[in-house]
Every structure is written in C-alpha cells, then in structure tokens.
Amino acid sequence: MREISPKEVEKKLEEGTILHIIDVRETEEVADGKIPGAVNIPLGLVEFRKQDLDQSKEYIVVCRSGGRSGRATEYLEAQGYQVINMTGGMLAWEGKTE
C-alpha cells in the first residue's frame, strides 16, 4: 500500500497541485472540518460508491487516524483503483480545513 504524509499533502495543495481526496470518516466527523476539496464517502459506503470514482485518477484516502483509510485503500487498490493512504489521518493534519 502506498502512503503519503499529511505534510506532503499540505505541500502539494499549497503548490496548487490538483488532488483527489476521499475522506472516509463518518459525516458527523467531517462536520468538524475536512481537507479543502475532499469528498466524504464514509468507509461503510465505499463499496457502494466506488463506481462514482474515476479509475484513471489517483486518490488520497483520509480518515481520523489512518486505520479506516488504510482499509479503504487496500479495498480500492484490490478493485483496480490508484489510491494512497494518508498516514496519521486528520489527527496529524495541520493544514487548512473547511
């Protein structure tokens, strides 16, 4: 499984890189703040919403601490998607939120 640190994600966003971020936390967790532009697909719905994702794009998967995003990354990778797990999750995120 490929991984990326929160600092690397923050740096890419600051540089203007277009990132496709999936936040797999529950809706009420995301209400407290998410990475700008991230799309919320709770972990329990990833299997049912994967058809909404473009297999030609690379996605960074985020959760609270890195556990759920790791499971989502493994699942999506097995389905043929290009995914990277953000280590440490939102607990390690120091960048802007929306």
Q: Which residues are catalytic, by number?
A: 63
**Could you give the CA distance from residue 26 to residue 62 in angstroms, rounded to a whole number?**
11
| Dihedral class, residue 82 (left if φ above 0, else alpha if ψ from -120 to 50, else beta) | beta
2, 83 Cβ separation under 8 angstroms? yes
Q: Which residue has the tokens 């759920």?
A: 68
**Could you give the CA distance from residue 30 to residue 70 in angstroms, rounded to a whole number?**
17
Number of H helices, E strands in the chain: 4, 5
